Structure 1
Amino acid sequence: MLNILRKRAQSPLIQGLVLVIAVVFIFWGFGGNQGNNRTAVATVNQVDIAYQDYVRAYKQATDNFRQQFGGQIPPALMEQMGIKQQVLGQLIQSELLRQGGEEIGIRVSDLMVQEKIKEMEVFQEEGHFSQQRYEDLLARNRMTPTVFENDLKSDLRTERVTTDIADFALVTDHEIDRWLAYSEEEIQLHYVQLNAADFEDKVVIEEEELATWFAAKKENYRSEPKIRLKYLVFNLDDSMEQAQPDEEEIRALYESRKESYQQPEQRHARHILLKTNEGDTEAVRAEKKKKAEEVLALARKEESDFSTLAQEYSEGPTKDKGGDLGFFSKGQMVPPAFNQAVFSLQPGEISEVVETQFGYHIIKLEEIRPASVRTFEQVKDNLAVTLKKQNAKDLAFKNVTKAYEGIMRSGSLEKYSQEGETEILTSDYFARSDVPEEIINDPKFLNVAFSLKKGELSSIVETSEGYAILFVDDIQKPELPELATVREQVAADYTKDKAEELAGTAAEELLAASNEQGSLQQAVNELENKPEVTTTDFLQRNAPGGKDLPPKQLIQEGFKMPWKQKTAQTPVQIGASYYLFEVAERRIGDAKADEAKRNEAKEKLLASARKELVGSWVAGLQARSTIATNDSLLK
């Protein structure tokens, strides 16, 4: 949790730049196992990265991934995601940035770290830093102040170095002109779509040709393996009647979770936002602030309605709701200044103009909902359901364990079945893609079932419904069928395949006619069955495609066309359809766009230039550094 809080202190720009650095390391890699220190996971220019630092960083990374994925992550997936290598790369990156920052005179003092901690709302009480809260939160997260402050210092150093390097990036007016001319370019298309499905009635099935086609595609029709199971099922529902918890159990669970039922104080507020952008000039910002002060004066008049004013003047997303932000607790609002203003007001009060990165806010506090703790009676029923399910699961596990031990003592499932203590179920043969209704259609159950060999008994399998024990009684191996047994499906597939070929041929012929006639429309007019020629509106490169528009791929192909070329050289196949198109007209982008659009373009280009500059700088650091890793410690 605290690791996430540290990251929130960084701006989106810095997070984007750090991502670029990570990509650099992914593609550049590191040196081999050349370090002399066996207790270090890596050495960067003779500076060791300690194993314990790697272990702590790895734990933080895996905890974060588990939170994102809502629980456990299989070890195989963790390995596939390369988390160990990612963590090592980040540690090496941090050390390189520290060394590179020192070379150019960038350092982070302990005082800067302390000031940053004091600004973090999570460590504040009533708007002021609390040493006791700071220590308690760190202890709750099994972290010492020294470790936390070192981590934060590393984050701040990364932020300062990347910011200082990125600040050297420049974007010229000529680059903005070129970008606007490119991004604002528009084309109008004439296009025809030939669907394979429209040619299916033209396909004639000849038995000899169908047999030849089937022989080439025969592997596509190989049957799936089928298994026949004997199995025992222990469903949670069967244990529910015996699983009802008593009052004492429910109360004990409530006491163990009592802290989670604490509701912090919440406040209901409305706001009016006069938006600003990062590239706005001082004059623009001053005008916005002046307007906000005028609106504030209107809001403070006795007869004024704040909700109506918000609908009229606010430029934020809650405008249509009268600026209503609903209830929220302290720290939920991202801008600290906004959060601090709300929690300093009393119901009915209106704030001064509050400036944040989003613009100028006028805030009205509507209501305060005091901190509270949900009582036992309020959560009793939900806790009872939770306990009942857990008790049922425990009982089911107890029963399946007893059965499994019985099978082991008996020596086989067959001998155990003769004792008659538990019903043994038997399935018919079934394939993975065609599971009978009576079989548990659960991935865990099926994964185990189809991984066992004939005559093999599974271990205890946990499913979404309870537990099971499986025994594969028999396996039918996959078979290549004869044409006669699958002819209906083969004929349907053959028809679709040949219809697609016919559509492709028709597209090629129409394209040749179009080039000869000089236009797509004239070529279509010569056909007996005329496909529709669709004319689009003017489209830009970022047009989404789809509904009421040609496919996005077709739009992109249009923009790839040379300016002097009108008709595409080849049909464009998208799925089972072929498209022919011609660029009817082009309009170059307006390089002399209004100031707002030019500023937006400048910010995009500047962000790209910053990333490229930081990435190049880090790549340069790595290229002239000696980096050795001790991969044996990553296991």
Structure 2
Amino acid sequence: MQEFRRFVRGPVGKVLLAAIILPFVISGFYGYFVGGGSGDVVAEVEGTPITRNAVNQRVERVRDMLRQQSPNMNPALLDSFVRPAMVLDGLVNEQLILSAAEKSKLVFSTSQVSADVRQIELFQEDGKFSNNRFERELRSRGMSPQGYIRGLQQDMVKEQYRAGFMATNFALPSELDEQRRLGEQVRDIRYTELDLNALRSSFSVSDDEIATFYEENQGEFMRPEEFRIAYVSLSADQYADQVSVTDEDVAEEYEVRKAILAESGANTARKVAHILIAVDGDRSLEDAKVRAEEAEKAIAGGMSFADAAADYSDDPGSASSGGDLGVVTKGALPEEMEAAIAELEPGVVSAPVVSDAGVHLIKVTEVAEERDMPTLAELSSQIRADLKQARAEAMLNEDVATLEESLYEHSSLDSPAEQIGAEVQRTEWVALSALPSPLNAPAVQQALNSDEVRRDGHNSELLESAPGQYLAVRIVEEKAAEPLPLDEVRFAIEERIKGERAADKVQSLIGEAEKKLEEGASLEDIATLFEAEVQEQEGLQRGGAEPSMEVVNGAFSQSRPAEEGEGSVAITRTGNGSLIAYQVTRVEDGNAEPLTDEQQLAALRELGNIEGQRSFRQVVALLREEGDVELHSSRLSPNTGDEQ
């Protein structure tokens, strides 16, 4: 049983296992669309379930967007930043907004969505909407046209609801004046600073103190364990020199591809138009068939196919263009439609054809000329490269299977490597946290930390460190962690002791300064205590960082000083540990310069938008408070069963 487990965990075992479980994968995939068990539902909002799959898809979509914006972002940081629980919270809010919009009888028609879709550049070719491009792009994302349209309609309805609050808010000139008075306000301050870095440099540390600290904190100054690692690596690139492809091989492959092309009919294209009667939540298949018959009778009665498409078709991409799907090749449309198209003569309208999308009436408007396959000379280099790659991968797969089996039969890597003609490579002394290439992969680090490899000294299982890159590793030698020499850490110890003494001094001075202020001390008194000078800073603005962000925020939170007077003295600790005592000496309100009519209008519009956003956040909070929301956050993990 243990050998079977090892086999299944390996690359070859994974391939066979994938073939065995494929039917179950397909069933699971189908279940995603028809609804799974209750354990897949992570929230219910106004009776509408939100599934774990929906959350995971949104998580990956957000992460992909962030990866495109910041390609160098640390993957671990990205995973911790975009969490399923956070995304679920957003999906719950969206569903609450949608439910509230539907209760308010807000709608966005299919024709409105269709007009918008035709303007999306992604679905255009040569500046015009392309139905082929539309369907191709949606298929690549695992979406149907009907599902995409429904999603857009829901988005538009939610946007209508948002706009009802956000776009209808407004601001008064008096509110703008007050905002400008506060937002553009500037303040002057006097302050004195106890600089932690300067204080640190005032202390001295003796050699005996450094040596004592070193002895008492030995565990903090250790060189980590180091290892010499042996490894065998395999990739398809290693077999490039062992693969040869003759001209005869290329010619034979060309004929095979040519025969496949002819047999599949992929070199024959037809120009096709259709009328789609969609089957959805509002229309059953039987109802769709009845409507298709109505369209069929209308065409038989003299209505043009294009007019019938405009009146009857639910396909937003083609209805307004006579149902035109453009030139289609085999494999581009559902099998039911392709079977009907293959039997149709140009100009003839098919009987109703049923597909997953609904019921179609199809017309072949033109049969395009067969396109010739490129010549052998044109395809030769590509075919040669394909054959070389395929043969190299075949050799790789054979050696992967051999190596995987032999790793468990030998106590070193030498014999397994010899069986496949590979070389065992060895590293110098390295820490597991700083592995060199090609060992710097999470799978390798995990294997080297495992009991089998680290404690028992066995070969690792065959690891796929990257797509098409395989590794087996073994620890050859191990060097225990050892203390770093005192000379290497002397400076760090000295600075640490100085820092601790400076921090203690700052802490005692905070208490003294606060006591003095309670007794009525002035800023000059505090400056004397800090052994520092009193400085002035004029024209502080909200959000500034000089002399420190903490001081600026504190200065704008203080009350306005009396005329010709000074504010009370306050003390704050900055982010780097320094102390600053300060007082406000002058306040000058904003709104001194009048705005032009155009500037006033723009400012009022922006202030109204800000107020609208604030209002809508309150609306969403109210929906969360009063809405019917059930959360099953524990089910976000796929390993969590149904809640009891």
For 1:510 and 1:84, the matched residues in 2 are separated by: 48
Question: Equivalent residue for 2:543?
Answer: 542
Q: Within the alignment, does 1:612 sit opposite 2:601 as a pair? A: no
Q: 1:195 to 1:81 in 2, by over 3 A?
A: closer
Describe how 1:489-528 pairs up with structure 2 within 5 A: 489-501=492-504, 518-520=522-524
Q: SS in structure 2 opposite 1:159?
A: helix
Question: Equivalent residue for 2:67?
Answer: 69
Q: SS in structure 2 opposite 1:409?
A: coil
Q: SS in structure 2 opposite 1:187?
A: strand
Q: 1:486 to 1:624 in 2, by over 3 A?
A: closer
Q: Is the 8 A contact 2:189 2:584 kept in 1?
A: yes
For 1:134 and 1:513, the matched residues in 2 are separated by: 75
Q: 1:438 to 1:110 in 2, by over 3 A?
A: closer
For structure 1, the 5+ residue unaligned runs are 1-34, 256-375
Q: Is the 8 A contact 2:232 2:471 kept in 1?
A: yes
Superposed displacement of residue 431, structure 1: 3.0
Q: SS in structure 1 opposite 2:623?
A: helix
Letter in 2 for 1:99: S
Describe how 1:94-133 pairs up with structure 2 within 5 A: 94-124=94-124, 129=129, 131=131, 133=133
Q: 1:406 to 1:148 in 2, by over 3 A?
A: same
Alignment root-mean-square deviation, CA? 5.6
For 1:420 and 1:384, the matched residues in 2 are separated by: 25
Letter in 2 for 1:221: F
Superposed displacement of residue 620, structure 1: 2.5
Q: Is the 8 A contact 1:445 1:461 kept in 2?
A: yes
For 1:504 and 1:387, the matched residues in 2 are separated by: 74
For 1:132 and 1:511, the matched residues in 2 are separated by: 75
Letter in 2 for 1:616: Q
Question: Equivalent residue for 2:587?
Answer: 586
Cα deviation per residue 1:463-503 (whole Å; 9 max; x = unaligned)?
58965322234555656789899556423422343345557
Q: 1:477 to 1:176 in 2, by over 3 A?
A: farther
For 1:219 and 1:394, the matched residues in 2 are separated by: 52
Q: Within the alignment, does 1:182 sit opposite 2:182 as a pair? A: yes
Describe how 1:354-373 pairs up with structure 2 within 5 A: none
Question: Equivalent residue for 1:318?
Answer: none
Highest Rg: 1 or 2?
A: 2
Q: Is the 8 A contact 2:40 2:53 kept in 1?
A: no
Superposed displacement of residue 65, structure 1: 3.0
Letter in 2 for 1:100: A
Letter in 1 for 2:604: K
Q: SS in structure 1 opposite 2:409?
A: helix
Question: Equivalent residue for 1:569?
Answer: 570
For structure 2, the 5+ residue unaligned runs are 1-35, 259-375, 639-644
Q: Is the 8 A contact 2:225 2:431 kept in 1?
A: yes
For 2:570 and 2:479, the matched residues in 1 are separated by: 52
Cα deviation per residue 1:496-554 (whole Å; 9 max; x = unaligned)?
4334555776798899999988455x986x79x986765444121133x3xxx534344
Q: Is the 8 A contact 1:233 1:467 kept in 2?
A: yes
Describe how 1:206-605 pairs up with structure 2 within 5 A: 220-233=220-233, 402-413=402-413, 416=416, 422-427=422-427, 429-432=429-432, 445-446=444-445, 448-450=447-449, 453-454=454-455, 455-461=457-463, 467-473=470-476, 475=478, 489-501=492-504, 518-520=522-524, 535-543=536-544, 545=545, 549-564=546-561, 566=567, 568-570=569-571, 572-575=573-576, 577-590=578-591, 593-595=594-596, 598-599=600-601, 601-605=603-607
Q: Is the 8 A contact 1:227 1:450 kept in 2?
A: no
Superposed displacement of residue 162, structure 1: 0.8
Q: Is the 8 A contact 1:177 1:592 kept in 2?
A: no
Question: Equivalent residue for 1:302?
Answer: none
Q: 1:409 to 1:40 in 2, by over 3 A?
A: closer
Superposed displacement of residue 91, structure 1: 5.1
Q: 1:469 to 1:584 in 2, by over 3 A?
A: farther
Q: 1:168 to 1:518 in 2, by over 3 A?
A: same
Taking only the aligned residue pairs, the percentage that are identical comes to 18
Superposed displacement of residue 81, structure 1: 5.8
For 1:114 and 1:397, the matched residues in 2 are separated by: 49
Moved more, 387-396 or 229-238: 387-396
Cα deviation per residue 1:114-142 (whole Å; 9 max; x = unaligned)?
33334434445666655555445444544
Superposed displacement of residue 160, structure 1: 0.6
Question: Equivalent residue for 1:349?
Answer: none
Letter in 2 for 1:162: R
For 2:65 and 2:243, the matched residues in 1 are separated by: 30
Q: 1:39 to 1:157 in 2, by over 3 A?
A: same
Q: 1:623 to 1:559 in 2, by over 3 A?
A: closer
Cα deviation per residue 1:273-309 (whole Å; 9 max; x = unaligned)?
xxxxxxxxxxxxxxxxxxxxxxxxxxxxxxxxxxxxx
